[in-house]
Structure 1
């Protein structure tokens, strides 16, 4: 029998089965609460596994709704959210479970191992953050808030997906696609009444292609305007979400949502986050102004937001004689994937073996992961853009490594989703180098989840890891996509099999930090906006005013007034990054520091890489990342490593 469940979702019977599972779980909770002498083994462990099994049932539906979105998946997913949210809210507010956990923590203090102590510590914190200690009226209100929040987040995401799917711009003058890479032209080309035309959409590969290479400024602006004005109805959702989060924080005894969010993160308080971000702004600004001057010279006109990618590409070609299109034949998707597997084998001793199984789409694939020739996990991949698939890239965990109540081992599994250029019988999927970096990034997350050696699922893999440390393994791995010795493992011309020439690698490495200070300011703008937005209740125009005030310090090219970036900021309004977007930069300090340690030891002979596998990847969330990082590097993280990585110092 396979150690991994078959990927199947019975849509017709899903809601019925979900209700049955929830009902059975509720009965099980009541039964467990009746145990006279509660212990970790007879009380906490069964509750942990109960949650794990429910998640394994629910995750395939949410995954399907993201990668094969239909009216049916939307309807069933939307109907399941109140059920799952009400169930988890009641569970997280159950005072009897909370008290039992506190008693077990006190009673078994000496006999519990580190993983078990961490499970109790995090659960007790989560019970307090969920209001288990509050009166019934407050608990009921929190329950209502959680259900409404999950519905609004889902609506936000669906509005964005619908708007992205609905828009297209048809170009019928061949002059307007001059300068576009041939592969992008081929993807956009279609015939209507015998006339060749080109279709551009807001799907990322299509949008990026025109905004970067399209000569016609008016078309660039039309696409840009369509992109930054998507889903205007999300403005109302934002107001409602912020109001609910503010009320929730107040009920739980926090002065705002930001301080509620920080209760479970590495960063100690609001001041430490804002100071960290503002220091990075001041360290990056002088270099960013110089970078903008260079761009202005090339453009010979005041730059608009829809110009920056286009003129950046011209400047990049001029400065480094680098043409993205020349690189793409060396980054054929399959070759990149195989090369990344080879790199991981050399770095950590892990190997991948393709599995033949039917998945949700014919382009999806799966691999079994082996460590020291022992089956460790399964990896699923869905890498190409298509209609009905959410934009962006992400890693999702299916199973978590753990041992069940009887001590039987459960192996981990994870899925990586990207939106790379689609392959066809006529043309392969040729990636930009940015796509290669994205694949390495998501693989870093997947390894963190799949290589865990932790026996308790709630602190295994990515579970239990502080949110502002969760990007550490992904950013650590993505840095290697610029290393010459790594690139040579997979960068081969898909037609000639020629390995990428040294001078092309040299140009790529030199161009790595091209306009990096401007890029840094953009990310800091998002981080400061997100964090400050959650320090008090902002509504309506006040949200735009806050964003504009932050842009005074961070945006050297002033965006047009119609730019409603916030309506598409799904990381914080439909994902888990509310008051936590700063985490990318916070974690990047850790990743840059560890990365330099490995490179300075010669990458493939690195002792730090070996320690990283055993301490960080195998360690999951069983200890705070503060502790794990010190175990890895024998010191505190050095913030200057982040500036060094970005070429700013």
Structure 2
């Protein structure tokens, strides 16, 4: 068993070290290819581990660029990206490796285990999806496309971050700040020449707080306008990316990028995806219209897009007597983390112990993870928002559990990153319940990666899992953030240590599906827009026209003309969700079905929870999720459980 890597990234020498690393890899590839007799052990395994070590080397840079973004990290990352992209593209198009994999698959068919066969099958597919079998000119063009795509995606993300950080709105009239959470008022407050002022930003905690509680409608509209019109230069990037994706798809023999995307997913074809989304849409519209009417009934004017969060909070308090602010003292960040770890221990016999390690920021922490008292992994938590950090939340895997060439078993590690309200010397980080759900969600991803018991790193943890199934473990875990017996493990008032009352929990649970059909429509809008956008080439105004057409059915409040949501849709233009945003709902069917089975078995005594740990978490991507789910539940997933989870059906 090998030790964990120490987090270290020397920006001054990174490019030089990366070039050495890639050069060493290329020489090793030549040596491996020169072998007369190629086997899984002497050819596939070394290539697998080579890829793992490159990922381990590169991850600290990509992580730093996301959580401690600076001119220097941007410069180094921008310089490093084309080097890695070019190397990866050449590797994925190497016809000799492709032929060797096919030969080994045929020759060792009877002696390979199921994990090894899965590695070979996925690699052969990925080689074909990279054009390894195509002519030299086509492969050269695909390489150029991949380089340009990675550059454009990076620029898209950086433009969005820069635009978010560049904006601020200064309030001088204290009446305009009334109603905001005390902690947000404190965070916004600053002194300028002896005058107390308040700074609002487009960072998530600040933006959400004002849109939810800010009484001044004009300020809400100003913030909303700034948020939905960020990074207009990204429109040109979208056009370029869409054109490149379509060209790439056709070079690889697909009609469009949506079809190319589905080649590695659970969904069978484009018709299956669109039918799935349209079915959810039809089932959700009637309830969504009723929900909007309830909102409109309490507003003294016609509702606009910048009004919904504000009046939703008023209606929520009126219907459930629930005020997010009353709950936040019960969700102090450190208490939530400790309580979540207690829950994981009780559900899976997984324990987390904090370790001292010098990391990239004083607010980042490391924990060793034990399963059945055996050291299994290390996780790193960086949970608070700051200017140098990309918005949103994510899990990023670093090390993968596997068996290396020497027969040793490296331990796994991963990062959990969120954008929670920042703590300071006078104020702790008090979370909204939505933040708690987010933490559970990202921890679900993390467990999927670090608890793997697969020996081949390319199908261990989240590696090799179909993209439309990868959200299954995260969504499964997040649902427990509403369960009363789970909440009582950590929801304690940070000042009095009083456990949250049954009455407060009851209100929270009942409010869970508040405006859920409207929320469903919003997600379906994103999914339909993304998927249809990749069924042919849309350019310029066509992109907005497509979105407008979809919104005729999904947007019950028509957004203003200045809303250019697509310019900030980083999931599909700088993340991995292009023609795959539907995956959230697809996977949610699996998670809802599994979750209700565990709850019906009383959670902590659930045999299904133990089976889930052994089948889904331990086996990672070593089998198709379709096969694993069938083994877990003994049947196909029940779609109605997703509607039940959202309160749309009983």
TM-score by structure 1 length? 1.00
Which residue does 2:644 correspond to in 1? Answer: 644
Structure 2's unaligned 5+ residue stretches are none
Deviations 1:363-386 (A, max 9, x none): 000000001111000000000001
Which residue does 1:99 correspond to in 2? Answer: 99
1:130-529 to 2 correspondences below 5 Å = 130-529=130-529
Query: SS where residue 169 of structure 2 aligns?
Result: strand
Which residue does 2:7 correspond to in 1? Answer: 7
Change in 2 beyond 3 A, CA 1:2/1:260: closer
CA deviation after TM superposition for structure 1 residue 636, in Å: 0.7
CA deviation after TM superposition for structure 1 residue 196, in Å: 1.2
1:613-632 to 2 correspondences below 5 Å = 613-632=613-632
Distance 1:351 1:16 in 2: 40
Distance 1:182 1:360 in 2: 29
Structure 1: which 4+ aligned runs deviate by more than 4 Å? none
Deviations 1:459-480 (A, max 9, x none): 0000000000000000000000
Structure 1's unaligned 5+ residue stretches are none
Deviations 1:207-247 (A, max 9, x none): 00001000000000000000000000000000000010011
Alignment pair present for 1:129 and 2:96:
no
Distance 2:635 2:138 in 1: 44
Distance 2:390 2:319 in 1: 35
Which residue does 1:610 correspond to in 2? Answer: 610
Deviations 1:295-347 (A, max 9, x none): 00011321100000000000000000000000000000000000000000000
CA deviation after TM superposition for structure 1 residue 195, in Å: 1.4
Query: SS where residue 354 of structure 2 aligns?
Result: strand
Distance 1:151 1:66 in 2: 16
Distance 2:602 2:499 in 1: 21
CA deviation after TM superposition for structure 1 residue 178, in Å: 1.1
Query: SS where residue 593 of structure 1 aligns?
Result: helix
Query: SS where residue 382 of structure 2 aligns?
Result: strand
CA deviation after TM superposition for structure 1 residue 545, in Å: 0.1
Distance 1:241 1:304 in 2: 32
Which residue does 2:542 correspond to in 1? Answer: 542
CA deviation after TM superposition for structure 1 residue 2, in Å: 7.0
Distance 1:5 1:310 in 2: 46
Which residue does 1:76 correspond to in 2? Answer: 76
Query: SS where residue 376 of structure 2 aligns?
Result: strand
Distance 2:244 2:324 in 1: 45
Does the 8 Å contact 2:2/2:410 carry over to 1?
no
**Worse-superposed segment, 463-472 or 182-191:** 182-191
**What root-mean-square deviation, in Å, do the aligned CA atoms of Structure 1 and Structure 2 show?**
0.7
Distance 2:563 2:336 in 1: 36
Which residue does 2:115 correspond to in 1? Answer: 115
Deviations 1:577-605 (A, max 9, x none): 00000000000000000000100000000
What is the number of equivalent residue pairs in this alignment?
649
Query: SS where residue 604 of structure 2 aligns?
Result: coil
Does the 8 Å contact 2:2/2:408 carry over to 1?
no
Distance 1:263 1:6 in 2: 37
Does the 8 Å contact 2:453/2:619 carry over to 1?
yes
Deviations 1:31-84 (A, max 9, x none): 101111111101000000000000000000000000000000000000001100
Does the 8 Å contact 2:212/2:313 carry over to 1?
yes
TM-score by structure 2 length? 0.99
Query: SS where residue 220 of structure 2 aligns?
Result: helix
Distance 2:312 2:240 in 1: 38
CA deviation after TM superposition for structure 1 residue 182, in Å: 1.0
